[in-house]
Chain A
Amino acid sequence: MRTLLETRLLPAIVVAVIVVILPYFFPSAYYFRVGALVFIFALAVVGLNLLMGFAGQVSLGHAGFLGIGAYSVVIGPVYFGLPSWLCVFVGATVSGAVAFLVGRPILRLKGHYLAVATLGFGLLVAIVLTNEAGWTGGPDGMSVPRLALFNWQVRGSDSWYWIAGATLVGGFVLALNLMESPTGRALQAIHDSEIAALVLGIDVARKKLTIFVISAMYASVAGSYLALFNGHVTPDIAGFLRSIELVAMVVLGGMGSIVGSLVGAAVLVVLPQALTIFHEYEQALLGFILMVFMIFLRRGIVPSVAATFAGRRK
């Protein structure tokens, strides 16, 4: 038991337990839907958090990869007759390849310059998805063929809850292992000081590129899931506001905290649902709450709360 608690996979185990227990408190399928959305977004956020929290590189265009993933599960089955599950992998591969090609030149940029370059990349994806209506259905979007696994048509919110939950646990395990690997340690060195890392002989450019590709693949799988789950996809999925939302989830949950990724996604998915009873005021309140959280929990929810508890124990 002790070794289990001390293992580095503890966060993944905790998430697995949450995924299994939560449905006992769900009164209706709507809760399964919200839960599934939280897990799907959390998957993309874990990837982005690896990039932002561990490698210290900002991306304001990550929704572009959501878009690539989402449209691969439409274009693959509809135009090429490929099975949907295969297209999830195809999408991830395409996203990884795109990230590799785009990442090579732009990851040399620093800070805000990298932000604007990734922002440009995200916009390019959204523009292509909007304009190539022959393939993508244009701004009205396209309906997505349902996922079929071994003659099982996946349609209910509860099925997606389990698929997304299981994938998220897998994503956690992968991310946690990656952080402890030599690459992960090198990344943290880059985050602390790029020059110092260089001097130590770390191939900074290559490590950054690796993590950019991995984070793109996380986002792509999340995008595929989102499209399959919703049954309809529009270019909004790749929009600027989605990218901002992903970054907000990372920062709110806590940069560099894998558990924070889930918390950040949960807050920003659930909050708009809870705020609907304020009708007119919901947007103003959402902005206000976001500000308050960032002022009082500036390092993100999970690291700030953890620090408070650690402080008390002493």
Chain B
Amino acid sequence: MPPLQRFTVTTVIGFIALFAAVHLASAQIKIGSVLSVSGPASFLGDPEKKTLEIYVEEINAKGGVNGQKLQLIVYDDGGSADNARTFATRLVEEDKIAAMVGGSTTGSTLAMIPVFEDAKIPFISLAGAIQIIQPVRPWVFKTPHTDKMACEKIFADLKSRNLTTIALISGTDAFGKSMRDQCVSVAPNAGINIATEESYGPRDSDMTPQLTNIRNKAGVLAVVNPGFGQGPAIVTRNYRQLGITLPLYQSHGVASKQFIELAGPAAEGVRLPAAALLIADKLPANDPQKPVVVDYSRSYQQKTGQAVSTFGGHAYDGLMILVQAMQRAKSADKAKVRDEIERTKGYIGTGGIVNMSPTDHMGLDLSAFHMLEIKGGDWTLVPGT
């Protein structure tokens, strides 16, 4: 055969084999997920995917849900909202899923919402922004705290330290920008005055010009950095490089031990709001969340060899809220499961204690956040928060 023909034949056979493989797999309850496993938001999607896989396997090993095994179908949107939308359609039309846990970023979640609303399939999002649950949509829920809560938590701490004039430096990525907007909107109510604002690109390698401008701004008492990925680590390093001594606040976006590794000694003294998960071993023994977070940290570290991040925790909470709702509904019927998710009360998860209602499809309050300070290369709880 000439090379071109041989190539064509091999390709065709390959594709036939491919589609055959897709249609062979079938199971009882199908749970769909679209995550940003690769691309600029892989920081979120990677731990989320690993978590879902670990726990679906564990649940199946214990006999599944209501006697039925779970089948997890994960697609990688690469951080693109357009791809997310296509995969959402695929989950509904082709895979015929019973429920959806996923949507790593706010952009992809918002793009997918109409698909699941139209198809009437329960959708638990893992993204931060408040627009996802406000206004309340019947089929859409979310597990992470909102950016607004993170801002309020930081501002409360600033207020208690009398540091009321601050500077903001935020990433221009979706996470940084969205949290920055929330912080700016809640600042007046919290009694915080934002004296100056700077930003940096998601892949920038030096932020000293922006920090120099902040340093030169008179009256600034503290600096807040909404952002995730490697940006906050570089901001923190540059902050010490310039010898700035004002208190530095990071956001819940640096929700993993890796931040301390990347920022190194510069991270000393940095404060941030975070869920109980990060300080699993430091929680008091009587904390209701302790068993859950210790257990999750141990499983995740054992299976992946990596440190836990808050983002993986969001996926854990989403899956567990769904599974418990299915158990209460005694079926995987979409409408019944939706009603039961909405009735979730006192669910103890990695992100906090969840109490949902028809008007609150997240069910977390500010008590879910702890204020942490980095000391001696480790997280410590700030007393009284």
Residue interface mask B83-112, A partner, CB < 8 A = 1: 101110110111000000000011100110
Is B204 interfacial (CB-CB < 8 Å)? no
> A269's closest neighbor in chain B, by CB?
B86
Residue interface mask B65-97, A partner, CB < 8 A = 1: 000000000111001111101110110111000
Is A49 interfacial (CB-CB < 8 Å)? no
User: Contacts of A226 on B, CB cut-off 8 Å?
Assistant: 82
Is B285 interfacial (CB-CB < 8 Å)? no
Is B22 interfacial (CB-CB < 8 Å)? yes
The 3 closest A-B pairs by CB, nearest first: A30-B93, A139-B174, A232-B111
User: Contacts of B111 on A, CB cut-off 8 Å?
Assistant: 141, 230-232, 234
Task: Tell me whether B93 and A141 are in contact (CB under 8 A).
Answer: no
| CB-defined A-B contacts under 8 Å, sample of 23 | A28-B94, A29-B89, A30-B90, A30-B94, A33-B86, A133-B177, A138-B177, A138-B181, A139-B177, A140-B106, A140-B174, A143-B110, A155-B118, A231-B111, A232-B111, A233-B81, A236-B80, A236-B107, A273-B86, A274-B19, A292-B7, A296-B4, A297-B4
User: Looking at chain B's contact residues, is the secondary structure mostly helix, strand, loop, or mixed?
Assistant: helix
A157 CA / B114 CA spacing, docked (Å): 12
A29 CA / B118 CA spacing, docked (Å): 13
Task: Tell me whether A308 and B85 are in contact (CB under 8 A).
Answer: no
Is A304 interfacial (CB-CB < 8 Å)? yes
Minimum CB–CB distance from A40 to chain B (whole Å) comes to: 10
> B173's closest neighbor in chain A, by CB?
A139
Partner of B81, one of A30, A133, A234, A274: A234
Task: Tell me whether A277 and B178 are in contact (CB under 8 A).
Answer: no
Is A131 interfacial (CB-CB < 8 Å)? yes
A236 CA / B85 CA spacing, docked (Å): 14
Task: Tell me whether B79 and A140 are in contact (CB under 8 A).
Answer: no
A161 CA / B106 CA spacing, docked (Å): 27
Task: Tell me whether A237 and B172 are in contact (CB under 8 A).
Answer: no
Task: Tell me whether A139 and B75 are in contact (CB under 8 A).
Answer: no
User: Contacts of A308 on B, CB cut-off 8 Å?
Assistant: 4
Task: Tell me whether B173 and A236 are in contact (CB under 8 A).
Answer: no
Minimum CB–CB distance from B143 to chain A (whole Å) comes to: 18
A297 CA / B8 CA spacing, docked (Å): 11
- The CB with the most chain B CB atoms within 10 A, among A140, A226, A237, is that of A140
Minimum CB–CB distance from A252 to chain B (whole Å) comes to: 14
Residue interface mask A206-248, B partner, CB < 8 A = 1: 0000000000000000000010001111101100000000000
Minimum CB–CB distance from B255 to chain A (whole Å) comes to: 19
> B22's closest neighbor in chain A, by CB?
A277
User: Contacts of B230 on A, CB cut-off 8 Å?
Assistant: none
> B111's closest neighbor in chain A, by CB?
A232
User: Contacts of A304 on B, CB cut-off 8 Å?
Assistant: 4
A230 CA / B87 CA spacing, docked (Å): 12
Partner of B79, one of A33, A34, A236: A236
Minimum CB–CB distance from A225 to chain B (whole Å) comes to: 12
Residue interface mask A254-294, B partner, CB < 8 A = 1: 00000000000000000011101101001100000000100
Residue interface mask A287-313, B partner, CB < 8 A = 1: 000001000110000001100100000
Partner of A141, one of B74, B81, B173: B81
> B73's closest neighbor in chain A, by CB?
A276
Partner of B110, one of A141, A279, A292: A141
Is B218 interfacial (CB-CB < 8 Å)? no
> A282's closest neighbor in chain B, by CB?
B76
A140 CA / B177 CA spacing, docked (Å): 8
Partner of A274, one of B18, B94, B105, B131: B18
Partner of A296, one of B3, B81, B83, B94: B3
Partner of B89, one of A30, A276, A279, A305: A30
Is B256 interfacial (CB-CB < 8 Å)? no
Is B21 interfacial (CB-CB < 8 Å)? yes
> A275's closest neighbor in chain B, by CB?
B18
User: Contacts of B79 on A, CB cut-off 8 Å?
Assistant: 236
Minimum CB–CB distance from B161 to chain A (whole Å) comes to: 30
User: Contacts of B18 on A, CB cut-off 8 Å?
Assistant: 274, 277
A236 CA / B39 CA spacing, docked (Å): 12
Minimum CB–CB distance from B240 to chain A (whole Å) comes to: 28
Task: Tell me whether B86 and A37 are in contact (CB under 8 A).
Answer: yes
A25 CA / B83 CA spacing, docked (Å): 23
Partner of A28, one of B22, B93, B172: B93
Residue interface mask B35-73, A partner, CB < 8 A = 1: 000100000000000000000000000000000000000
Residue interface mask A83-108, B partner, CB < 8 A = 1: 00000000000000000000000000
A155 CA / B129 CA spacing, docked (Å): 26
Task: Tell me whether B107 and A234 are in contact (CB under 8 A).
Answer: yes
User: Contacts of A236 on B, CB cut-off 8 Å?
Assistant: 79-82, 107
Is A57 interfacial (CB-CB < 8 Å)? no
